[in-house]
Structure 1
Amino acid sequence: MDLLLSLQTNFLSVVMAVVVLFLIWKRLGKGSRSRLYGRLPPGPNPAPVVGNFFQVHVKEPYKYYIELSKKYGPVYTIWFASTPVVVIAEYQALKDSMIGMGEEFSGRLDYPSLMKSTKGYGVLVSNGSRWKQLRRFSLTTLKNFGMGRRNIEEKVKEEARCLVQTFNTFGDSAFNPRDSLSEATCNVICSVIFGHRFKSKDPQLKMIIETSDEYIDFLSSPLGQAYNIFPRLVGLFPGRHHEIFKMLERVRCFLRLEAESRMKTLDLNSPPQDFLEAFLIQAEEEKHNPNTEFNIDNLLSTAWNLFNAGTETTSSTLRHALLLMMKHPDVQARVQEEIDEVVGPDRCPSLDDRQNMPYTDAVIHEIQRNLDAAPIAVPHKMLHDTEFNDYLIPKGTVIIPLLSSVLFDPKLWKNSDHFDPNNFLDEKGQFKKNDAFVVFGMGKRACLGEALARVELFIFFTFLLQRFTFKATQPSEEIDTTPLICSFGRIPRSYECFAVHRA
Structure 2
Amino acid sequence: MAGVWVLLIGFPLCLLILSYLKVLWAHRRFPPGPFPLPLIGSLWWIGLGLNPDSLMKLSKVYGNICTLWVAHHPIVVLSGFQTVKEGLINHSEDLLDRPLTHFLIKAFNKKGIAFGNGHNWKQQRRFGIVTMRTLGLGKKGMEYEIEEEAHRLVEAFSRTKGQPLDPSVLVSNSVSSLINVVSFGYRFSPEDEKFRRMIAASDYFERFSVSFYHALYNLFPGLMKHLPGPHQKALSCMEMGILYAKEEIDKHKENQNLHEPQDFIDFYLLQMEKSKDDPNSTFSEENLTQILVDLFVAGTETTSSTLQWALLLMVAYPDVQDKVYKEMEDALGPSHPICYEDRKKLPYTNAVLHETQRAKYILPVGIPRRCSKDFQMLGFHIPKKTLVVTDLNSVLLDPKHWETPGEFNPNHFMDKEGNFVTREEFLPYGAGARVCLGEQMARMELFLFFANLLRAFKFQLPEGVKELNKEPVVAISMHPHPYKLCAIPRNSSCQII
Q: Same fold (TM over 0.5)?
A: yes
Alpha-carbon distance, 1:71 to partner: 1.0
Q: Check conservation: 2:461, 2:467, Cα contact below 8 A.
A: no
- Displacement of 1:25 in angstroms is 7.5
Q: Where does residue 358 of structure 2 map in the other structure? A: 369
> Secondary structure of the equivalent of 1:478?
coil
1:32 shift after superposition: 2.3
> Secondary structure in 2 aligned to 1:287?
coil
Aligned ranges for residues 40-439 of structure 1 at < 5 Å? 40-58=30-48, 61-146=51-136, 151-227=141-217, 231-232=221-222, 235=225, 237-267=227-257, 271-439=260-428
CA deviation after TM superposition for structure 1 residue 177, in Å: 1.2
* Contact 1:207-1:251 within 8 A present in 2 as well: no
**Structure-1 separation of matches of 2:277 and 2:411:** 56
Question: How many Å separate the matches in 2 of 1:127 and 1:367?
Answer: 32
Equivalent position SS for 2:323: helix
Instruction: Give unmatched runs, 5+ long, in structure 2.
Output: 1-8, 492-497
Q: Alpha-carbon deviations, 1:76-103, whole Å to 9, x = none?
A: 1111111111111111111111101110
Whether the aligned pair in 2 keeps the contact of 1:326 and 1:476 (CA below 8 Å) is no
Partner of 1:13: none
How far is 1:246 from its partner?
0.6
- Match of residue 481 from structure 2: 493
Tell me: CA distance 1:23–1:43, structure 2 relative to 1, closer, same or farther (3 Å).
Answer: farther
Deviation of 1:443 (Å)? 1.1
User: Cα distance, 1:230 vs. partner?
Assistant: 5.5
Q: Decide whether aligned partners of structure 1 residues 446 and 147 sit closer, same or farther in structure 2, where only a CA change above 3 A counts.
A: farther
What is the alpha-carbon distance in structure 1 between the residues aligned to residue 420 and residue 216 of structure 2? 43
Per-residue Cα deviation, 1:98-145 (whole angstroms, up to 9, x for no partner) = 101110111111144433331211111111111110110000000010
| Structure whose CA Rg is larger | 2
Helix, strand or coil at the partner of 1:32? helix
Between the aligned partners of 1:23 and 1:401, the Cα distance in structure 2 is 35
The separation in 2 between residues aligned to 1:89 and 1:281, in whole angstroms, is 43
The answer on whether the counterparts of 2:66 and 2:78 sit within 8 Å (CA) in structure 1 is yes
Aligned residues: 482
2:34–2:45 contact (8 Å) kept in structure 1? no
Amino acid at match of 2:292: A
Match of 2:438 among 442, 445, 449: 449
Q: Structure 1: which 5+ runs fail to align?
A: 1-19
| 2:51–2:364 Cα contact (<8 Å) kept | no
Q: Name the Cα RMSD after superposition.
A: 2.4
Residues 284 and 21 from structure 1, CA distance in 2 versus in 1: closer, same or farther, beyond 3 angstroms? farther
Q: Secondary structure of 2:204's partner? A: helix
C-alpha distance in structure 2 between counterparts of 1:409 and 1:21, whole Å: 50
The answer to whether the 8 A contact 1:190-1:196 is kept is: yes
CA contact (8 A) 1:40 1:393 kept: yes
CA distance in 2, matches of 1:57, 1:341: 51
Classify the secondary structure of the residue corresponding to 2:74: strand
Tell me how far 1:478 sits from its aligned partner: 2.2
